[in-house]
């Protein structure tokens, strides 16, 4: 999935694992147990297009691994006028990512998205900010 995200972008930064360069393909092909027990992979994507509807100037993807848990974090800034279009699309993509990764939960929201009050969605449920998107 990370490789497909890169194909819809104007440019993709060098991927780093714990500050050291790594090829995404090598990282994806490796067994997650081959990497340090606490690690972080970072990828910066510029000029990302979310389908044909929304342009995200800079998308930061961080994958954290600790205590046999993997957290995937997508951070970006967006014009509020694009949120109503983007969030349903992102929700679909996150649901797909959940299935592919066997994640326990996915959510999307404003910083800090860990707070339930700032979420657009959690799994299949609409969050408190979800009423701002139709």
Place of tokens 């979800």: 130
Return mean pLDDT, the chain.
Answer: 77
The helix (run of H) or strand (run of E) holding residue 32 is none
C-alpha to C-alpha distance for 94 and 119, rounded to whole angstroms: 14
Residue among 42, 40, 41, 49 at smallest CA distance from 11: 49
Contact between residue 45 and residue 59 where contact means Cβ atoms under 8 Å apart? yes
- pTM over 0.85, yes/no: no
Contact between residue 58 and residue 44 where contact means Cβ atoms under 8 Å apart? yes
Looking at 19-28, 71-80, 82-91, 104-113, which range is the least confident one? 19-28
Average pLDDT over every residue of 73-102: 84
Instruction: Give the residue, 72 or 6, on which the prediction is more confident.
Output: 72
Instruction: Give the residue, 28 or 55, on which the prediction is more confident.
Output: 55
């Amino acid at each position: 999935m990370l490789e497909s995200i890169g194909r819809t972008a104007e440019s993709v930064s060098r991927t780093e694992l714990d500050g050291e360069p790594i090829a995404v393909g090598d990282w994806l092909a490796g067994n997650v147990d081959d990497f340090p027990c606490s690690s972080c992979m970072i990828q910066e994507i510029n000029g990302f297009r979310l389908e044909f509807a929304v342009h995200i100037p800079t998308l930061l993807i961080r994958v954290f691994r600790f205590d046999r848990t993997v957290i995937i974090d997508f951070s970006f800034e967006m014009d509020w006028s694009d949120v109503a279009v983007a969030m349903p699309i992102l929700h679909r993509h996150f649901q797909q990512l959940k299935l592919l990764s066997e994640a326990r939960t996915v959510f999307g929201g404003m910083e800090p998205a860990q707070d339930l009050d700032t979420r657009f969605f959690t799994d299949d449920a609409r969050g408190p900010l979800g009423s701002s998107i139709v």
